[in-house]
Structure 1
């Protein structure tokens, strides 16, 4: 790519502090609504927006933001979570633990570092669920799956089954996180799992649907879909039709966003307003 064709990513128009979410695609993101809601509640004079960044433009984006003193950082979504590892500092050892970054933060003294708030965001809604020795099924083997498997590896779960287009990729993740189980093709029969988590983009607006037969799941199983656009995915509809408990994508989204918000803006997110925020997000 010649210098003349380098992409340009606009910075802070008003000289105000700002953060953003980057991805490809990005128009579906609810992160600007979430962070904007919290900024308003706390009276913080800062901005948060969505920025489309194609994979080939990610290094140029980071280099431009590196020199912008108003930039506080960014949330990172599909497909940049693994590629980001090579572009910023990794003081917390994210590369060797989760292996994917979903948040980049600017240090006060300059320099950029990455972390991952997805694992905490995923864990929050199931913290009270007894998964000790319980079988779990995961759909997908991308950046979000890494955070989910990292969390599960610390919860003493039983056999973990990964369903993915590439079973080999799924098997590698099981080995990485020291989890016992197996990796199967995406169209394989579900195991009798106590928890089913969709970490893939299947079912998201503009993506193919996730077509799973939920009959093998036992009564009392939990179905957790991290897709949030649409909020009521066909997977969750099918689970509810079977009388199974469900967790939608807003739970993990808001949880991981809260951790990132404090890193960007130096104040805890006002979670006491979660009810109002949820109404805003589903409107």
Structure 2
């Protein structure tokens, strides 16, 4: 199990002694907005969103930044990930009351963040930028380990069943465009709009790992995992594209298959109108196509 270095009172005091005062303006309104690019291994997080009694990515970032800046800080993320889900290329923003040395921020925070959370870089952003609402798309990868392995089982779904690769490709292609994805939404969700536009969806296969890539304007709760789980179920049973299309258009979660396990899913990046980090925040499979 990874050790969490944060938060604890003694460590907080040590950081305050070691670091210069980052924020001391006395202003009542936020005047500086910064964008953060980071990654985390989700196995020991209860997701992105802060919880009163759980270890979350947002909670740890806010605790660390608040101690460094000596003021309460809220970190806003590009999207919410569930417990056990990873992020290789995540975007968030934070507001400060004074200018911050960003190189110092990245260096110091990485010294005290836990091993399963890393801050890559930070840059200034316009006041109107919002990590979530300014995003025009988000990308995810889902990894399936096709051969037995002693490694990587916490970042992939171990699934050695025979699968119809051609059918997987056809099912992925059918997702492109604007469709109603109610059949792949978490049961009991309060979301009333099931329409999503998918701009990239494909399976990338090699001998021991198959990866599903998807990018779209929005996603429903649990949508990617439900898509993968249902596609794998159909490909294993070789049910045919016609049955898949009927299920997909039913808009009923009870018609689709089980959700794939959380550990195989990774948030791969976000798409913004203007590149933030010379495009490094964009999913690799988008920039390379």
Which TM-score applies when normalising by structure 2? Answer: 0.29
**Higher RCO, Cα 8 Å, sep 6+:** 2
Q: Higher helix share goes to which structure?
A: 1
TM-score (norm 1): 0.30
